[in-house]
Amino acid sequence: MKKHIFFASVFVSLALLLIGSFMADEADGSVSKKITFEIAKDYEACEFKITTEKEGDFDVTLHPQNSTETYTGSMEDTNVCTVSVENVKAGRWDVTVTQRVTGETSAENRQEDTEEETDASADAEAEPEAQAEPVDAEELIGKIQVTAKAIDKTAFSIGNVQIARDIVGLQLYFKDDSIVVEWTDTSCGNVKVSVIDSYTDQILDTKTVTDRYYEFLIPELVTEITVDIVPATSSNITGANSRFNIPVVNEPDAVVTYGDKEYVNTDTIPVTVNLSDSYSLLFLVNGEEVKETGILASGEYVYDVPVTEGTNEVLTYVVDADHNMRSTSYTVIRDSIKPALTLDMEYDGITTYDDTITITGTIRDYDTFMINETEPVVAGDGSFKSEYILRDGENVLNVRAADIAGNETLYTAVVTKAVRETTIWDYAWPVGVGLVLIIGIAIRLWRKKKGGSEKREDKPQKPKKEKKDNKEPAQAREKRALKSRVVPLLIGIACCVCSYLFFTRIIMGGWVPSSSMEPTLMVGDYAISNGLAYLNREPQRGDVVVFRHAGAADGKTLIKRIVGIPGDSIMFIDGYVYINGEPVYESYLPQDTETNSFKDFEDIPEGCYFVMGDNRENSEDSRFWDDPYVKRKDIRGKLLSIIPLARLKETVREIFM
């Protein structure tokens, strides 16, 4: 009965650099590399397959360390050789791969040896033992792998032979304060990694790794570690492990700086790196690699690192030539959503006679919220209600909300405050009263004079000689009657003219139609001004004057306060007025009044004046006019007195209602 044949043979990849070494024969210039592996038990026969990383002409020698026997094979322009051995004994075995040297190469080597011997004899006293540069066996032969299978003498396959394994692509480096071990070999199976304190021999960590990556955080006081690495299948084989002594040093000479913003609304953030040596850089955002550089020379570099909506954990690694990595971290939140502003109505385009307008709505997700220069009070649910004082004409309202990331929501509305026209009838009643008084006085005087004449006629008079004709001529009577009618009329006309000139040129009066001079002049007050105030003197800073200006609608007469006189320079800083570089205290204003302007005014021209209303936040004045100055000839008078009719009316209403 025939024996069953087992065709399954599992080839195990080896990189036997564990105890490997190379040998350079100076006699013939050949290069050799030797590795050692271990056979766990005896076999009737084994078929060994030796594979090199490089192709070439190689001689292969297989030699058990406990015997003088050797087994050979060769490679010709290939990298695979098979050697069959009978009566394989347990123990350690050596495999030596030697580069085959041609005659031409040998001759060249002998010539070089002769020249070297001549040079050596000439310099024997100065340098007794000259050493040639080592030949790199790794470049000529590369890594060596050995696989084996056991065979009985009738050529039946028995199974795989356990051999010590190396790990291909093994790399050790620091990642911040952790040691990292990784490899590319997928055939070595599980790997046992141990980290030991080199000075105390204390085992800090040991772990069997399955995914080709190991990382361990080194304790603070440890200054040098020993890393022991061995494939799990070779852990019971003496000498199969690899040991590395590594000083714990990972401080690259580099500085990484980020911006100072916790919140941004941009797609990238700038990262500045100052290198004092050659390094490469690696950028990670939320654990994902977003950018990598090659080796950079020393200097300063700035990179824009992409970020995504929400929280971003940014890591910048500085990597040296040994792949050691040191990171600098930064947390930044990207927020590209604008504040949510909702108004209860559309305010743009509104026209009103009211002095104020109330703006209501809701605001959410904001850091600052302003309506022009006023900060409204916002309730807990986000609702707000703000009253804004209007000045005559167009008022631009900027409702602006911004969040900490820099997103801004802006709503702009133009609200027009209509002003009731001031006509001649606004001055009719004081003028009429004045005329009536003057006419009454004139008539009274005329009647008194006439009455006096009649009384004189009633007195007894001395008898006169009778005239021939006692009758008065008709023409004389008509003349006297006409005179009695014309004289009062002329007196009345003269009184009207005088009254008009008096109340329009000397003592002028008018209603206050707007709030631009509050609290000095309230809407509804009656202001009386002196038209002769500046006959012998110039207007002074602080005077409240009546004037005409091109900035007034329909050529109306305005009333404002003089703030700057000819030669003054006016500036506005932090809500205060500075005249000729000095802050001005304006006692006629409330303490919390702020005066602002988008521009300053230097060297007021001769014969011109700079005026403002006392209600600085709601006054159309020199700050906003195209021609900011009032000319001397356009000033009609100075405020003389105020009849507070509006306030009296309010007081009476409070008393009786």
Catalytically active residues are: 516, 560
Amino acid at 187: S
For residues 353, 356, 361, 366, the Cα torsion angle rounded to the nearest 10 degrees is 140
Of 47, 146, 38, 41, nearest to 92 (Cα)? Answer: 38
Using DSSP's 3-state secondary structure scheme, residue 656 falls into: helix
* Alpha-helix residue ranges (DSSP H) falling in 66-129: 103-122
The span from the CA of 67 to the CA of 94, in Å, is 11
**What does each C-alpha distance from 205 to 194, 195, 208, 537, 612 come to in angstroms?**
6, 5, 10, 99, 81
CB atoms closer than 10 angstroms to residue 362:
15
CA 514 – CA 521 distance, rounded (Å) = 9
Of the CA atoms within 13 Å of residue 187, those in its CB half-sphere come to 13
Q: 3-state class of 505 per DSSP?
A: helix
Phi and psi at residue 172, in whole multiples of 5°? -125, 135
Contact 95, 73 (CB under 8 A): no
Neighbours of 539 (CB within 10 A): 19
Cα separation of 291 and 303, whole Å? 9
Q: Which string of b and e fits 293-319 if b means at least 16 CB within 10 Å?
A: eeebeeeeeebebebeeeebebbbbbb
Using an 8 Å Cβ cutoff, are 422 and 511 in contact?
yes
User: How far apart are alpha carbons 290 and 152 in whole angstroms?
Assistant: 57
The phi and psi torsions of 606 (rounded to 5 degrees) equal -65, 135
Residues 6+ apart with CB under 8 A from 344: 360, 361
DSSP letter string, 529-568: EETTTTSSS---TT-EEEEE-TTSGGG-EEEEEEEE-TT-
Strand segments (E) across 574-651: 576-579, 582-583, 608-612, 629-631, 635-643
Listing DSSP states for 403-427 in one string gives -TTS-EEEEEEEEEE--PPP-GGGG
Q: Distance between CA 202 and CA 471 in Å, rounded?
A: 159
3-state secondary structure of 569: coil
